[in-house]
Amino acid sequence: MDKIMYEAQRQGRFSFYMTHFGEEALLGVVAALQPKDVIHGQYREAFGLLYRGFTVEECMDQCFANVADGGKGRQMPVHYTSSKHYFQSISSPLATQIPQAAGSAYALKMRIPTQYHANDSERNCSVCFFGEGAASEGDFHAGMNLAATLKCPVVFVCRNNGYAISTPASEQYNGDGIASRGVGYGMDTIRIDGNDMWAAYNATKTARKIAVEENKPVLIEAMTYRVGHHSTSDDSTKYRDRKEVERHQQFENPITRVCNYMMNQGFWTQAEDDQYKQEVRDHVMSSFKNSQKKKKPPVKELFTDVYDTLPPNLVQQEKELERLITTYPEYFDFLDEHEKS
Residues that bind another protein (CB under 8 A): 38, 40, 69-72, 74-75, 79, 81, 83, 88-89, 91-93, 96-108, 110, 112, 114-117, 126, 138-139, 141-143, 145-146, 149-150, 152, 304-308, 311-313
Q: How many CB atoms lie within 10 A of CB 278?
A: 10
Cβ proximity to another protein, 266 vs 312, nearer residue: 312
CB of 39 to another protein, least distance (A): 12
| Distances in whole angstroms, Cα of residue 106 to Cα of each of 99, 152, 153, 154, 264 | 10, 5, 7, 8, 44
Residue 307 CA to its chain's centroid (Å): 26
- 7 annotated active-site: yes
| Length of the chain measured in residues | 341
CB of 76 to another protein, least distance (A): 9
Sort strands 154-160 and 126-131 into parallel, antiparallel or unpaired: parallel
Q: How many CA atoms lie within 13 A of 111 on its CB side?
A: 6
Cβ proximity to another protein, 88 vs 287, nearer residue: 88
- Which listed residue (40, 79, 230, 338) is catalytic? 230
- 20 annotated active-site: no
In the three-class reduction of DSSP (H, G, I as helix; E, B as strand; rest coil), residue 62 is classed as helix
Cβ proximity to another protein, 106 vs 201, nearer residue: 106
CB of 86 to another protein, least distance (A): 9
Cβ proximity to another protein, 308 vs 336, nearer residue: 308
H or E element that contains 40: strand 38-40
CB of 120 to another protein, least distance (A): 14
- 231 annotated active-site: yes
CB of 305 to another protein, least distance (A): 4
Tell me which DSSP letter residue 339 carries: P
- 230 annotated active-site: yes
- Which listed residue (231, 236, 283, 339) is catalytic? 231
Cβ proximity to another protein, 106 vs 163, nearer residue: 106
DSSP characters over 120-186: SS----EEEEEETTGGGSHHHHHHHHHHHHTT--EEEEEEE-SEETTEEHHHH-SSSTTHHHHHHTT
Q: Which residues are catalytic?
A: 7, 92, 230-231
